[in-house]
């Protein structure tokens, strides 16, 4: 049997080799990202490459892990993919990437949203890598009362009271990532929840997930967050992004329909007052009930939009937008495009966005992805261009299931 000294020597050798290995893995990853050589390996997306690297299994020290997370993030990897590679939850990555006090922006106290190919996926301060593991450590003992966070009492649309942790600092916008709303760098949710009942809704998937219970104590029931109303005044654009127009755009209520029939005039009035008090932002608004816009004091810099997924919403959208004036952009979201749509006129819109239905996991089961046929999209594109509209076709139209392109031949071949 080897002596204790020999075994100890082997232990130190193993530790040294391990340290060298993880450092070398970081260096090689850096080289491949900086040179673009990762694309020569057949990976279609940066996320696929990052996920292929078992960096977390090498046992990196925390400082090196955080450097690796920043490296991957700087090259466009999503927080979920980075977490998979680093062996931590996406929430941990989100927390690690937050700028410190010396940076010029504070983080929001609403749930952070990490946008993936399949729309928005909530990033919460929860350890997903142990959440469902049989070997997971038991939950820590309850916090003593004197250490427990202060709670707010929020109200649902029916006046029911809901307890919610009081933010420890000033509310700010959330930074957005990915293709879902790539045209805006921030999201802001002074209201959450919706009653439209769209079976494909990504926001309901997030709000009703087990991981989201702490951040959505009312689930997808409409809930007002007055503690977030100061976010427009508190958010500061980082110096390096001040010349980028996207960093002045804020998607308002990405987790709600602010103008739904169930939303009180008082909620809308408070949110609009907050927007009007900070007019330098371009607030991006979207609703399935556009008649609610008419008569409101809309911010001059707002992008005012409506969502149309079925023919029954077409006339409602056309009628409302003929009456809307004095805003920066009037836009039409055809996402998901679920059936062939026919508009009498698109000239009242400045911008048309067309997208597919991505796969979601709803409380009653999975809802599969659906990509509209080429003909549906082509007809709308031509009509929009003839009406003078700009058109944006979302990347999810080209994701699985792929759009079937025309494949016709004369003579039956």
Distance CA 48, CA 118 (A): 15
Place of tokens 């991006």: 284
DSSP 3-state assignment of 145? helix
What does R_g of the chain's alpha carbons equal in angstroms?
A: 24
Domains of the chain: 10-97 (no CATH), 104-127+148-412 (3.20.20)
Integer Cα distance of 337 and 358 in angstroms? 11
What does the block give as tokens for 209?
């997930």
CA 279, 282, 283, 285 torsion-angle sign: positive
Q: Which helix (H) or strand (E) holds 361?
A: strand 360-362
Q: What is the dihedral of CA 98, 101, 105, 110, to 10 degrees?
A: 60
The string of DSSP letters for 158-180 reads T--EEEEEPPSS---PEEP-SST
Q: Are 206 and 255 in contact (CB under 8 A)?
A: yes
Give the pLDDT of the chain (413 residues) as one tens digit per residue.
Answer: 566 665 655 565 565 566 667 888 888 898 888 888 888 888 888 989 999 999 988 888 898 899 999 999 988 889 989 999 999 988 888 888 876 433 333 344 444 443 333 333 333 322 222 233 333 445 455 555 445 568 999 999 999 999 998 888 889 998 886 555 667 899 999 999 999 999 999 999 999 998 888 889 999 999 999 999 999 999 999 898 999 999 999 999 999 999 999 999 999 999 999 999 999 999 999 999 999 999 999 999 999 999 999 999 999 999 999 999 999 999 999 999 999 999 999 999 999 999 999 999 999 999 999 999 999 999 999 999 999 999 999 988 887 677 888 877 897 65
Tens of pLDDT, residue by residue over 282-297, are 999 999 999 999 999 9
Sequential DSSP letters for 15-52 = HHHHHHHHHHHHHHHHHHHHHTGGGGGT-SSHHHHHHT
Q: Kind of pairing, strands 282-287 and 249-252?
A: parallel
């Amino acid at each position: 049997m080897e002596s204790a000294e020999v075994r100890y020597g082997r232990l130190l050798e193993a530790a040294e080799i391990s340290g060298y290995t993880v450092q070398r893995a970081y260096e090689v990853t850096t080289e491949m990202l900086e040179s673009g050589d990762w694309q020569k390996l057949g990976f279609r997306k940066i996320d696929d490459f990052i996920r292929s690297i078992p960096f977390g299994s090498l046992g990196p020290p925390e400082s090196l892990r955080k450097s690796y997370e920043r490296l991957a993030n700087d090259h466009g990897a999503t927080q979920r993919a980075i977490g998979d590679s680093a062996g931590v939850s996406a929430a941990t990555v989100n927390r690690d990437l937050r700028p410190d006090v010396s940076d010029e922006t504070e983080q929001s106290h609403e749930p952070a949203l990490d946008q993936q190919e399949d729309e928005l996926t909530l990033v919460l301060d929860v350890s997903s890598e142990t959440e469902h593991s049989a070997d997971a450590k038991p939950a820590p003992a309850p916090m003593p009362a004197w250490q427990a966070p202060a709670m707010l009492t929020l109200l649902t649309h029916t006046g029911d009271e809901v307890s919610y942790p009081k933010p420890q600092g000033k509310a700010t916008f959330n930074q957005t990532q990915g293709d879902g709303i790539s045209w805006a760098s921030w999201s802001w949710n002074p209201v959450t929840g919706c009653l439209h009942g769209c079976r494909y809704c990504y926001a309901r998937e997030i709000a009703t997930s087990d991981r989201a219970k702490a951040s959505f104590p009312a689930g997808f029931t409409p809930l007002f967050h007055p503690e977030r109303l100061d976010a427009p005044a508190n958010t500061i654009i980082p110096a390096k992004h001040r010349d980028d127009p996207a960093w002045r755009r804020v998607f308002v209520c990405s987790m709600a329909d602010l103008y739904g029939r169930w939303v009180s005039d008082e909620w809308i009035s408070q949110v609009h007052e907050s927007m009007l008090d900070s007019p330098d932002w371009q607030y991006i608004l979207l609703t399935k009930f556009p008649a609610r816009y008419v008569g409101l004091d809309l911010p001059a810099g707002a992008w005012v939009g409506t969502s149309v997924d079925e023919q029954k919403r077409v006339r409602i959208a056309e009628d409302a937008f003929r009456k809307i004036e004095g805003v920066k952009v009037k836009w039409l979201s055809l996402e998901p495009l679920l059936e062939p749509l026919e508009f009498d006129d698109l000239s009242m819109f400045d911008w048309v966005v067309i997208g597919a239905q991505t796969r979601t996991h709803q409380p009653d089961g999975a809802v599969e992805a659906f990509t509209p046929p080429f003909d549906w999209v082509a007809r709308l594109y031509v009509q929009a261009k003839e009406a003078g509209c700009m058109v944006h076709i979302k990347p999810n139209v080209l994701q699985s299931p792929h759009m079937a392109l025309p494949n016709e031949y004369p003579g039956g071949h």
